[in-house]
Chains A and B, each alone.
Chain A
Amino acid sequence: MTEVIAAPSPLGAPPPDNILLDVRNLKTYFKVLDGVVPAVDGVSFSLERGKSIGIVGESGSGKSVSALTMMRLLDIPPAEIRDGEIWFDGREILHMPMEEMRKIRGNDMAMIFQEPLTSLNPVFTVGDQIAEQVERHKKVKRKAAWDRAIESLQLVGIPSPERRVKQYPHELSGGMRQRVMIAMALSCEPKLLIADEPTTALDVTIQAQILELLKTIQDRTDSALMLITHDLGVVAEMVDNVIVMYAGQVVEQGTVDEVLVNPRAPYTMGLLESIPTVEKRGGRLSAIKGTVPNPFNMPPACRFEPRCPYAWNLCAETAPDLYPAGPHGQHARCHLHTPAGAPRLPEALADHERKLNVGHGIS
């Protein structure tokens, strides 16, 4: 189980009260047989109360590890927290005793996983599992907890919840199970709901149901939402702000409206360019060349440099920071947004516009 990590001394100052979650320079590494994997390498972001944030990235980008670190669900070792602080609801949680963390987890902070079947216990009824959690966190009687379970099933649109609570997970369909997971997460009225690829395992029409449900719940409750996904379409619909991760780092952050419409990091640009659309029919898609770097052999400076169409020698020499890259607080980890890169920026943006709308080459 996760052990207490010695707190760095001294801790930084707590964030202002409207900030629910403040992640500061989080570094989670994995020690494996072959070496050390920097799964999360200096990630910082914050989330206001009641707002929503999306974390987008491909497999291995560190998006899920970030969430698991926040929930303190990683096994240490092989995981290792190298650095960072996480402030949640006014308290630092990354270094607090596990005992206290358990009181927060499932209560103030709840998580929805990708695979509902594997995260529900097959030998207990749905109601037992929800009620047990409510009993533990809210210190209420069994009867009240059971009522709460029925109520939360109702909240996620499950018909005849009084009967559903007595069912076992295997008796439910895939979409229904994901609803139960969400009901369970909501049962303690969490301040933060973390959804890790909540619709990836589901069919298109069920995905639509669940997304609409999550949106409705966002409107009706005060929960903040952290949505982890690889699907830009899901992010565009669901959240206010977005973080794009690549190879353990944040490469771009800002509002969805900015990041997905006017991307400023070449990786985000490339992702959007590569989405197949009607307009690109008949032509080839613009693809990001190569593959995600080997975590044991990260490019020394900018991690995207080997795949970047706009890279020049500076990119292979100096690692870029997150630089301001737009009017509404948008940031991008790219030298294009430094004085040195400024002359190259217009050309890069023009190239992006071109690739975004048409396929190229003849097929």
Chain B
Amino acid sequence: MAQEIERGAVVADVENRPEGPRTDYEVGLESLSQWQLAWRKFKKHRLALIGLGILIALVVIAIAGPIVMPFRFDSIARPDQIVYQGRGPSLSHPFGETGGLQRDVLLLVVNGARWSLLIGFSSMAIGVVIGTIIGSIAGYAGGAVDNILMRVVDVMLSLPILFVILVAARFFAGARDNIWTIIIIFGLFGWMGVARLVRSLFLSIREREFVEAARAVGVRDRRIIFKHILPNALSPIVVAASLIVAGNIIGEAFVSFLGYGVNPITPTWGNVLSSALTFIPLGNWWWPFFPGFAIILTVLAVNFIGDGLRDAFDPRSRA
């Protein structure tokens, strides 16, 4: 079209425009992406960095530990010398030994890391996926759909979750290797917070001008959800997810401690604590102490990371 040809002429003329940009002073020196900026701020958060270091160490232990020091339920150290009392920390067993089967507590803690982290992260993933999907639908669709989904959330939140989990765990307890049962139960009962968060994020981002701009050029709903709204909702979801991990690790320990959790022959931290229970009056402090300390350490590390992420993603904190 004639219009198009003229447009070409304008393009050629652009350098001569009096207000033509001079690059030297106009664009910032840095061209950091949002994530790079967040990482720079995260690095300034000392506790979060420590937390990240601890978590990385724990992950390495969780992956490599069981290979170096495998746990086999039927391998008992000294079957000939079964004693009632455990043994305190020593050079060969720095975390001490349990009473009864005289297992190395270090070995239990190392192997427990694998299960606890697996449960914490996997159930978080399930919860976040479910929560994000439900929250997105509610937030984007609005109206009656939103209303129904949010009432479902209300109902879920009003359940005494711990009790439900105990019942569900008992109900599915028949399974031989029930660790995934536990993970799924935690996931299925841990998405409501995320759903509420994602819904509110959708409600606010949906009204942002760039979404309107996308609609103005004819972008379809699906692309608006996946390219415009979700990417902008990601950072609060990540922060929430980190806190869920911590909650799930504690939750698993708690349920296992009560004896309704993972199959007692699996050395999760909760199970180790549970079996230590009867030995506490005998003064075997090292038995519950080290797995308990591992739980505290992990949860603290994850919470510190969550705090750091929250600050890093906060656009108001620049320094």
Contacts and interface: CB of A to CB of B under 8 A. Distances in A.
Contact flag (A, B; Cβ within 8 A): yes
Interface of A: 31-34, 78, 287-291, 293-294, 296-297, 299, 306-307
B19 A33 contact: no
Contacts of B21: 290-291
B19 A289 contact: yes
Interface of B: 18-22, 24-30, 40-41, 44, 318-319
Contacts of A291: 21, 25-26
A306 B318 contact: no
A296 B24 CA distance: 12
B18 A33 contact: no
Given A33-B41, A33-B44, A297 B319 contact: no
Given A31-B319, A33-B41, A290 B22 contact: yes
A60 B44 CA distance: 26
A290 B27 CA distance: 10
A306 B319 contact: no
Contacts of A293: 25
B319 A287 contact: no
A33 B319 contact: yes
A289 B22 contact: yes
A299 B30 CA distance: 17
Contacts of B18: 287, 289
A288 B22 CA distance: 12
A33 B22 contact: no
A166 B40 CA distance: 48
B199 to A, nearest CB: 26
Contacts of A288: 19
A288 B18 CA distance: 9
A288 B20 CA distance: 10
B141 to A, nearest CB: 32
Nearest to A306: B25
Given A287-B18, A289-B20, A34 B30 contact: yes
A294 B318 contact: no
A299 B26 CA distance: 11
Contact of A287 (B19, B26, B28, B29): B19
Given A34-B30, A287-B19, A289-B20, A294 B319 contact: no
B29 A297 contact: yes
B29 A306 contact: no
B34 to A, nearest CB: 14
Contacts of B25: 290-291, 293-294, 297, 299, 306
B308 to A, nearest CB: 15
B22 A294 contact: no
Scoring A288, A290, A307 by chain B CB atoms within 10 A of each residue's CB, the highest score goes to: A290
Contacts of B28: 294, 296
B318 A33 contact: yes
A306 B24 contact: yes
A294 B31 CA distance: 13
A249 to B, nearest CB: 15
Ranked nearest first, the 8 interchain pairs of A and B with the lowest CB-CB distance are A293-B25, A289-B19, A287-B19, A32-B319, A290-B22, A291-B26, A306-B25, A33-B319
Scoring B22, B40, B44 by chain A CB atoms within 10 A of each residue's CB, the highest score goes to: B22
Scoring A31, A288, A289, A296 by chain B CB atoms within 10 A of each residue's CB, the highest score goes to: A289
B319 A78 contact: yes
Contacts of B24: 306
Contact of A32 (B26, B27, B318): B318
21 contacts: A31-B319, A32-B319, A33-B318, A34-B30, A78-B319, A287-B18, A287-B19, A288-B19, A289-B19, A289-B20, A290-B21, A290-B25, A291-B21, A294-B25, A294-B26, A294-B27, A296-B28, A299-B25, A306-B24, A306-B25, A307-B22
Contacts of B26: 290-291, 294
Contacts of A32: 318-319
Nearest to B25: A293
B17 to A, nearest CB: 9
A296 B30 CA distance: 10
Nearest to A285: B19
A306 B22 contact: yes
Nearest to A77: B319
